[in-house]
Structure 1
Amino acid sequence: MELTFAPRDILQINDARIIYRNLRGEGSKFNREGDRNFAVVIPNQELADELIDRGWNVKIKEPRDEGEEPFRYLPVKVKFNDRGPQVYLVSGNAHRELSEDMVSIVDEIDIRSVNLDVRPYDWEVNGKTGRTAYLQSMEVIQEIDRFAARYAEEESPEE
């Protein structure tokens, strides 16, 4: 994973690993119905510490077994409005922007890599403050098997 701290505190993350995908907004014991979100795995403690120092809400789960590292991740909310987010899916040679109605496909596919920009929202409620991560834009590169790649090439060969 490669992370850049861009202007306006935007996080530009390349080759991210995303987990807990719920772009569908499905309700569960971990999620309210309609809340779209996912989490970005934070690969090491140094990066987690830097994000925490900058106000980001990094979650840390203690290791299950002795000798293992803690598990670190950044929850990211996905809210569609007139400014985005833009979500692009790359599948073989095909590229498409996913609409709010289509973005749930990301929950189901095998992912090779993800590049994304995350913007902060700093809040204060009843004297408590925090920073929530919101998806600004994302490129999802789908892992396709050799047969899907072959048939996609036959359907739309390069000119």
Structure 2
Amino acid sequence: MEIGFARAGKLLQIDDARIIFKNFSGEESKFNRAGDRNFAVHIDDTELADQLIADGWNVTVKPPKEEGDDPYMYIKVKIKFNDRGPKVFLKSGKHVRRLSEQNVGLLDSIDILRVDLDLRAYDWEVNGKTGRTAYLDSINVEQNLNRFEEYYENEFEECED
């Protein structure tokens, strides 16, 4: 995982990220309201987590399950589609396509090989409380194809519902 910052620290750039708790479709569940699209980015280094927290990013830190383990750390990311984005790209074999709000839910069910993404910071203040919410600005997802998907990549055409 490589981290960088842009736009005066308001854009967090993460290459080779590991995403968890995927809900690109906004499906209702025990942990999610219907229509809320989101996921989390796993943070695997405590020094990096400390740096992100110091920079104002909201990092969730769960205590280790067993003695000697590292804490489980991640940043929750909201996905809101509007005229500014997010820009979502899916690379599947030799093909790259831009996903829209209508088909971004595909990312919930594919096997992911690599993710590079940019998160936009939204700093808020309500009733004297402040915080930072991470929003997806752009993401590039590379699909891990199985042997049949690779074989039929140039010959297979998906059926639209």
> What is the TM-score when the length of structure 1 is the normalising length?
0.95
1:92 paired with 2:93, answer yes
| Runs of at least 5 residues in structure 1 that lack an aligned partner in the other structure | none
1:57 paired with 2:61, answer no
| Runs of at least 5 residues in structure 2 that lack an aligned partner in the other structure | none
Q: CA deviation at 1:148?
A: 1.1
Q: Distance in 2 between matches of 1:84 and 1:154?
A: 31
Residue 27 to residue 149, structure 1, CA distance change in 2 (3 Å): same
Higher fraction of helix: 1
State the Cα deviation string for residues 50-81 of structure 1 (Å, max 9, x = none). Answer: 00001110001111111111000000000000
Q: Distance in 2 between matches of 1:66 and 1:76?
A: 29
Q: Distance in 1 between matches of 2:50 and 2:31?
A: 25
Q: How many residues align?
A: 156
Q: CA deviation at 1:153?
A: 3.6
Larger deviation, residues 114-123 vs 5-14: 5-14
Q: Distance in 2 between matches of 1:57 and 1:3?
A: 15
Q: Distance in 1 between matches of 2:148 and 2:45?
A: 36
Q: CA RMSD in A?
A: 1.2
Q: CA deviation at 1:32?
A: 1.1
Residue 154 to residue 28, structure 1, CA distance change in 2 (3 Å): closer
Q: CA deviation at 1:154?
A: 4.5
Q: Distance in 2 between matches of 1:102 and 1:34?
A: 14
Q: Percent of aligned positions with the same letter in both sequences?
A: 59
Matches within 5 A, 1:147-158: 147-154=148-155
Give the aligned partner of residue 127 of structure 2: 126
* Displaced runs of 4 or more, over 3 A: 153-156
Give the aligned partner of residue 36 of structure 2: 35
> What is the TM-score when the length of structure 2 is the normalising length?
0.94
Give the aligned partner of residue 4 of structure 2: 4
State the Cα deviation string for residues 86-124 of structure 1 (Å, max 9, x = none). Answer: 100000001100010000000000000100000000000
2:16 aligned counterpart, secondary structure: strand
Q: Which amino acid aligns with 1:24?
A: S
